[in-house]
């Protein structure tokens, strides 16, 4: 029990999380604190590059086994199953377009939550395995495609033609997806000696950039939260309960695929996280009728902080005891 409490305390006093809280606080005291947009974009690109490259290096040290292939299949199944049942829960309160967009966001993954989880593992003397970076990149698109299929099937108005082709293409060529897959391949191809040359950039400054990025995320979340509560309690409850449910269930189910603690923890994080970069970008193109004032604050301002405060210690505990 003492260990669990210390894990929770350590996560709650993590500088990265506290910078996120500082960002929200800055909005509520009406401070003019903000990270310039170009700098924010550079930092997000840097984080994706660093995590992809490090994952590629990890992957190059591992032999492709049936467990790795089964893990990849398991990840794809997660990103198809979650939008399916989420859609039917959401459809009880929202129109088809909003239900499909939110379901896609919760089926897809958050690269920033993944990056924060890598940092959490390192704090517990564990490392993320390279295949988990590949699995994360593979889980972006299926959820978007599933969301679009569900909207198409249940849209009875006939007044809105969904651009499926452009959405699928966008989900595959989306900048964040392309960068993390590209960095993974480059990291895989680079020799240990070549990787050593850029290690100060990929490893040493990583946590500092993560803290600044989360400060920026805090400012963005704080602004989005203001209008969010006009939608009532349902979206708030969904954004808290569903990720904790997803993370806990798939933390347990991952035990049938792998016995590695860090892999199981990352599966829980991938199942629990919600996309607020790739999915909103894809839905903007494909389903303009979906309301970004709903799915963006749900994923970014509610689910993200829930995962990095309550979620991570909970999923870590589950994978240790099951």
DSSP 152-206: HHH--S------HHHHHHHHHH-HHHHHHHHHHHHHHHS-HHHHHHTHIIIIITH
Q: Is residue 86 scored above 50 in pLDDT?
A: yes
**Average pLDDT of the residues in 127-132:** 87
CATH code that applies to domain 42-321? 1.20.1530.20
DSSP 45-90: HHHHHHHHHHHHHHHHTS---HHHHHHHHHHHHHHHHHHHHHHHHH
pLDDT at position 127, please? 87
pLDDT at position 229, please? 76
231 vs 200, higher pLDDT: 200
pLDDT at position 22, please? 93
pLDDT class of 133 with cuts at 50, 70, 90: confident
Average pLDDT over all residues of the chain: 85
Q: Is residue 173 scored above 80 in pLDDT?
A: no
Ordered by start, the domain boundaries in the chain are: 42-321
3-state class (DSSP) for residue 233:
coil
The model's pTM is: 0.78
pLDDT at position 316, please? 95
Closest to 318 (Cα-Cα) out of 249, 256, 270: 249
Percent of residues, the chain, with pLDDT higher than 90: 37
Q: Is residue 256 scored above 90 in pLDDT?
A: yes
């Amino acid at each position: 029990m003492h260990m669990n409490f210390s894990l929770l305390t350590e996560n709650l006093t993590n500088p990265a999380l506290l910078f996120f809280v500082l960002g929200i606080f800055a909005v509520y005291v009406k401070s003019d604190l903000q990270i310039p947009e170009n700098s924010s974009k550079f930092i997000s690109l840097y984080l994706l590059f660093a995590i992809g490259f490090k994952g590629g290096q990890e992957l190059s040290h591992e032999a492709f086994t049936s467990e790795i292939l089964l893990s990849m299949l398991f990840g794809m199944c997660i990103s198809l199953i979650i939008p399916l049942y989420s859609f039917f829960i959401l459809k009880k309160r929202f129109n088809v377009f909003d239900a499909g967009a939110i379901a896609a966001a919760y089926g897809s993954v958050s690269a920033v939550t993944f990056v924060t989880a890598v940092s959490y593992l390192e704090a517990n003397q564990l490392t993320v395995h390279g295949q988990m970076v590949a699995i994360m990149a593979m889980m972006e698109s299926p959820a978007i495609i599933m969301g679009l299929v569900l909207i198409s099937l249940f849209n009875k108005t006939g007044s809105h033609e969904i651009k499926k082709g452009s959405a699928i293409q966008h989900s595959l060529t989306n900048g964040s997806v392309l960068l993390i897959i590209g960095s993974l391949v480059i990291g895989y191809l680079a020799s240990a000696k070549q990787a050593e040359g850029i290690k100060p950039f990929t490893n040493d400054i990583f946590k500092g950039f993560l803290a600044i990025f989360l400060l920026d995320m805090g400012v963005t979340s704080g602004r989005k939260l203001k209008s969010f509560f006009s939608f009532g309690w349902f979206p708030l409850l969904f954004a808290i309960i569903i990720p904790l449910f997803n993370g806990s269930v798939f933390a347990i189910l991952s035990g049938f695929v792998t016995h590695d603690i860090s892999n199981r923890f990352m599966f829980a994080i991938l199942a629990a996280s919600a996309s607020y970069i790739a999915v909103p970008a894809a839905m903007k193109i494909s389903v303009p009728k979906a309301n970004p004032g709903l799915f963006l604050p749900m994923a970014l301002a509610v689910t993200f902080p829930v995962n990095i405060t309550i979620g991570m210690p909970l999923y870590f505990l589950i994978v240790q005891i099951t």
